[in-house]
Amino acid sequence: MSPKQMSPEEKQAEFGGVADSVRGKDEPAVPPARDPRPAGPTSFAAALNTALADAMEADDAVLMFGEDVGKLGGVFRITDGLQERFGNKRCFDTPLAESGIAGMAVGMAMNGMRPVIEMQFDAFAYPALEQILSHIAKMHNRTRGHVRLPLVIRVPHAGGVGGVEHHCDSSESLYAHTPGLKVFIPSGVEDAYLMLREAIDSDDPVVFFEPKKLYFGREQADLEALKNEYETKKAERRNGTARVLREGKDATIVTYGASVSTAMKAAEAAVEEGFDLEVIDVRTIVPYDDATVDASVRKTGRALVVAETPGFASIASELVARIQERNFFSLASPVKRVTGFDIPFPSPMLEKYQLPSVDRILDAVDEMTWED
């Protein structure tokens, strides 16, 4: 029986292992959104779940739908508890038809609603590309500004969970290349919450990538405080704003999403080799923050782009080109990149060779031009 014919129970049995591999089989799933939210260690998944619940509570026009997002709470439990809390008219399951899911969101957004849809895995979104690229991205321009589509397409993203092809793609280049779409990729718990709230409140369509391997990692966060900051407009704006995670003087690593943690580990390891590396998390690919990246590269004189996506014709390619064009006379070395290889995503046993690693990043730093 193919996945498209499975019941929710059968699908959980088939795909639940992917989620278990991320969070650990003994760790509970995301708590329902109605549960208390004390400050402390908080998972990336819980931050997304809470952001959805808070957005739905704040605006009755927000609704959540997709494959198995209702009773099951999604393969990764990101929508756990939402149907019970808000009812099956605001959080509901759809037929297994991604193009239909996206098309329905278009109609809803045109008529005053703010739909959030889930594509169960990154490559499962491909049947919806006609709706996304031809209609969602172009509707505002096509109607000469009269019709906006305030909708969010949530996409579990990239590798690191022992999945296989169709479950671990890095497809952000497809969407970033299409004018009319915003593309967000958070890398931490606070950004997961605040960036999803911003995406839902945006009057433009947002493709919101969620790195799967981050779902059940935990960080110190106070989601109640974040909610108050956001709803009182005191939170720092994430849309179009990169952030410097680590300051350095020798070279700049520009990265996003799941690769951020790897870049930070590489920067710490580089200290023992005598390199002081700055790390920038792009956060939103569209809109892209040239100013923050340019300021860092002009300070350090060297740049390295790190991303899981295959390297050819990728986001990494574009970032290298932008950095080189805009900062040419400040560069002491050609801009380099560390990416996935230009192959279909490999089997779980070979996954570690496909993904950027600390060693590959340090090798790229060594290969830069350094004065004797």
DSSP 8-class letter at 51: H
Task: State how far the Cα of 359 lies from the Cα of 12, in Å rounded to an integer.
Answer: 36
Q: What are phi and psi of 348, to 5 degrees?
A: -55, -35
Q: 338 pairs with which residues across the strands? A: 306
In the set 140, 166, 167, 177, the catalytic residue is 167
Q: Residue 341's CB: how many other CB atoms inside 10 A?
A: 13
DSSP three-state, residue 67:
coil
Cβ–Cβ under 8 Å, residues 254 and 282: yes
DSSP 8-class letter at 83: H
> Which runs of consecutive H residues, i.e. helices, occur in the chain?
8-23, 44-58, 82-86, 98-110, 129-131, 139-142, 172-176, 189-201, 223-231, 259-271, 290-300, 315-326, 351-354, 358-366
Residue for token pair 């279909």: 344
Task: State how far the Cα of 291 lies from the Cα of 295, in Å rounded to an integer.
Answer: 6
Closest listed residue to residue 119, CA positions, set 78, 83, 150, 160? 78
Cβ–Cβ under 8 Å, residues 108 and 115: yes
For this structure, is 140 an active site residue? no
DSSP three-state, residue 280:
strand
- Residue 204: C-alpha distances to residues 51, 142, 145 (Å): 18, 14, 11
Which residues have a catalytic role annotated?
167
